[in-house]
Structure 1
């Protein structure tokens, strides 16, 4: 049955009755689809009446003009149907830019294949791509709008645009595309208090994002927008982690008190996040404020539901606060789900990456290294190669490493250069004339926030040996998809191979359950179970375990594959019943 959310001078009205949005962020693309219904039910039981989700353009349309991918974890229509079945409304945030600590802020990497593209602007090429995306997406969304009897009450225009620019004309173009595409529910923008003037759009509801000082933030919103509903579109009840940092947490009582202040003011609210989920595979983003900082695999976010969907102390504290201001179901949330523990899983088969690279991707020859975007590649690695003419001591200088380069000479490790450390050169000895130089470059996540969004990957610019430009390169894309990993040839090995290698093992499970892959003793790389990409690990921390959703496992034999980018110091992993997200802030 159609519903109508109206924006009135004194607040929201739903079908003519006063209505307050009490929402929580839950990104379908960060949660296994077989667990969506569980998370949505727990949202309702905490007292939420609405769910908020972004839509990741880069996953839904991985190639220009391609049909939308709506399979598996990207089945947006099914997610919206499950939300409706649970009695929840939806705030939809289709971008095209979403931030979300997500790879590239959700903007597809193929946009960067054009050197002069200007993202998040009225640049002709950028807007043509946005228009094509919306033409594909909005007909999928339309049946789920509240005006058509669906759960989507309102749709966001772009995302925190005031933190990036002040081009109201660009926001107007995005809003017009939404309207022209059939979005007839209310539109809204969201910005931090100091960015409201730059990011708001006349005639569209402005909302504010904050984590503390709620009274001041809401006052800034009211000063900017003298009448209409007050809403905190992102109430930051936790935060995300970065590699090399600590696990960020926020005291439940402190967060609950701030939430109480928001609700006591009469404002609507969206918790960011209600349930964070996981940056599976290569999907984490990064920040770059003069130093590049990639985000970890876990998006636990210290949220009311943890990464495995279990209630945390914040769940109970927030439920108590919400009950002071709105009806809360009598039924309590279920207890934490049972977890699986399997110790001492031996990885007794190996496949060296350098030797097996031809099975994983086709090399492209050229006078210089090609970027990922020039290779039409989104995620993963590129293996670059060239031949060195003269033996003896040498210094390799790389103009711009995006983001981490491992250097090999005739297959032997010669050094590592990291964008994060601003490291430009490595010295080694060339053993013979005609030695093979290989550089394995990892995309550790495209920047998702700020002016550094134009974040191309691979080796950019010139590569020099002792000051002379190296020419005649091969550039081999290694996206490491599940399909490509099936082509690897694993063999038994008496000792771990030198350099990057895949390690494979099998373990048995009687009854599948959530678990955590413990990679203590391993250095850096990625892991898969039954072909499902769990994400990245790094001994740098803070995160030491990778979440394994129960639906990834099966009764009986299960396969685990670990890519170790450095020589493996051990041959076993473990599945544990508790996570280790690292030391917390003091």
Structure 2
């Protein structure tokens, strides 16, 4: 492609030393040290990328022609329990990530929320706020001071970390985004202004910007005074439209989508890719600023994948573990065909050559002499042999959501001793989000909030038996059976007006007797199973009842050298995989994702422990090794 350097903004200043980033007086673009500057940004999320790969992913963005990295900060990833912050461990050190951007001569767009969406659990708002029955999220102090107090504390933690990294202080941060796509949620400029004022009181007076769809922006006026406007699903035409509506405000395409998110049960990933060649060519030709959301998506490791609720049907739609997003840089950091196309288009408008594309990360050999390399796990432990003590009875008269017990993620077991009847049906219609139900040691069925039919009552066959007293006397005792409901909380809704999405059993459980009587069940025992690092490390390798679903399986992966690998879980049903204690995320046989990504740094030469918790399977199946997602 013929170079058209004259069309490119002439400012090629790199981060390092104080700089002034500002807006043109007529709103016609951005300025760096007084000269026109085109933002060419690619979005990366530190929380979705192993820290060892941060530099590689930044370099991949740079080699595609970007000069800026946009990043979300996931509030709940940094304040998992109220008042306890972590900006140091693993991939939570956002200061280190931003300094890496600067070391690679990349500018930064800082997107701290407090709400970010991002297909991340509760849009990154901490779930411990949901312990308040009447909490209101994403609103100003007058409407809910508890929420805004938490926001203020969060930003107070960010302020001393961010201030030295602003461009005016010699860092790479050009702008800070205020909230995210608020016009899709509400019309309340007082709330956006409160957030802006918190930053100003802390010593950072901008530059600020907001992000929203064009229609939502126009309807809700969701911008802040003196701030720029970024457009979701933006392009050159939308930038032109918003410039007419707000002629003194600079605008950019804040989220240009190369693909889209994927829910469990949907079609294969291949249907989500978007060809951005024409869009990027026009943005470059007109010297307009943009951000690719995402240039590399990474992985929602652990329990952090979010969910949606369909606006029309009300269907709950949890997100898959992979955040590949059909991005130009794949989940494992490989330059896709789209990457090479986009790189060529952008390079055609630049006066200096782009750096070479970084080499891909090594992968494990996924085949052996017999074909596909496979692991054969063995039974290791049972959830039923590893139950913690039940909560005090005062907390459990009625089943409550996870958040009311102080638990954010994982599973909760609700247990109830049944009375003297023979059969009926169990109504746990409002389970959030996936339950396996047992009568004694027998699996009675499952209930799923996602992709669930209208009929949600679970038929039960509860036989009330008599047995001899243990003393051997002729008297008899009632042998009432135990109902156990093991509930998995999947992703909390991260978008729209259904975000108050508590997990567990959120409504009373009702037993419909065969006689027609209706009984609300009370008097529950509750055991909390967060499935966190501590729980997994302390599993007792017992299996007293191998015929009761809820088993852990274990395998050893022996390797001479490390490399990225995917674990193919297509022969398993539903569960979680850990490798050397790292939670790779969920798998589910409804697809479309059947493989879980394990990055090389989580492996070691020699023996590696692969632990699987499957909610249904009693027998182990093979786990294949693969080099790609699909």
- TM-score where L is the length of structure 2: 0.88
Pairwise CA distance, 1:386: 0.9
1:363 counterpart = 2:391: yes
Which among 445, 457, 464 is matched to residue 425 of structure 1?
457
Residue aligning to 1:475: 526
Aligned partners of 2:458 and 2:173: how far apart in 1?
54
Q: How does 1:275-290 map to 2 (within 5 A)?
A: 275-289=296-310, 290=314
Structure 2 CA distance for partners of 1:490 and 1:439, relative to 1, 3 Å: same
Pairwise CA distance, 1:491: 4.9
Which among 287, 312, 316 is matched to residue 292 of structure 1?
316
Which among 126, 137, 147 is matched to residue 126 of structure 1?
147
Aligned partners of 1:250 and 1:429: how far apart in 2?
43
Aligned partners of 1:480 and 1:558: how far apart in 2?
20
1:53 counterpart = 2:71: yes
Which among 48, 58, 76 is matched to residue 40 of structure 1?
58
Residue aligning to 1:462: 508
1:321 counterpart = 2:339: no
State the structure with more CA Rg: 2
Comparing both structures, which one devotes a greater share of its residues to strand?
Answer: 1
Judge which range, 6-15 or 510-519, deviates more: 6-15
CA-to-aligned-CA distance 1:173-198 (integer Å, 9 cap, x gap): 01111222222331000111101131
Does the 8 Å CA contact 2:109/2:176 hold for their aligned counterparts?
Answer: yes
Does the 8 Å CA contact 1:5/1:185 hold for their aligned counterparts?
Answer: no
Aligned partners of 2:31 and 2:332: how far apart in 1?
35
- TM-score where L is the length of structure 1: 0.95
Judge which range, 184-193 or 336-345, deviates more: 336-345
Which among 150, 160, 169 is matched to residue 148 of structure 1?
169
Which among 78, 100, 114 is matched to residue 96 of structure 1?
114
CA-to-aligned-CA distance 1:163-215 (integer Å, 9 cap, x gap): 0001011110011112222223310001111011312223221121116xx34
Aligned partners of 1:341 and 1:515: how far apart in 2?
8
Aligned partners of 1:381 and 1:397: how far apart in 2?
19
Residue aligning to 1:543: 593
Judge which range, 177-186 or 304-313, deviates more: 177-186
Residue aligning to 2:380: 350
Q: How does 1:262-273 map to 2 (within 5 A)?
A: 262-273=283-294
Pairwise CA distance, 1:382: 0.9
Residue aligning to 2:363: 339
Pairwise CA distance, 1:334: 2.9
Residue-pair matches, total: 575
Structure 2 CA distance for partners of 1:404 and 1:423, relative to 1, 3 Å: farther
RMSD of aligned Cα (Å): 1.8
Aligned partners of 1:71 and 1:258: how far apart in 2?
39
Which among 450, 458, 461 is matched to residue 496 of structure 2?
450
CA-to-aligned-CA distance 1:448-507 (integer Å, 9 cap, x gap): 0000011111101211112211111122221101211111122589x9643111111112
Does the 8 Å CA contact 2:347/2:353 hold for their aligned counterparts?
Answer: no
Pairwise CA distance, 1:399: 4.9
1:503 counterpart = 2:579: no
Does the 8 Å CA contact 1:46/1:329 hold for their aligned counterparts?
Answer: no
Which among 558, 561, 564 is matched to residue 608 of structure 2?
558
Structure 2 CA distance for partners of 1:126 and 1:307, relative to 1, 3 Å: same
Structure 2 CA distance for partners of 1:468 and 1:529, relative to 1, 3 Å: same
Residue aligning to 1:186: 207
Residue aligning to 1:583: none
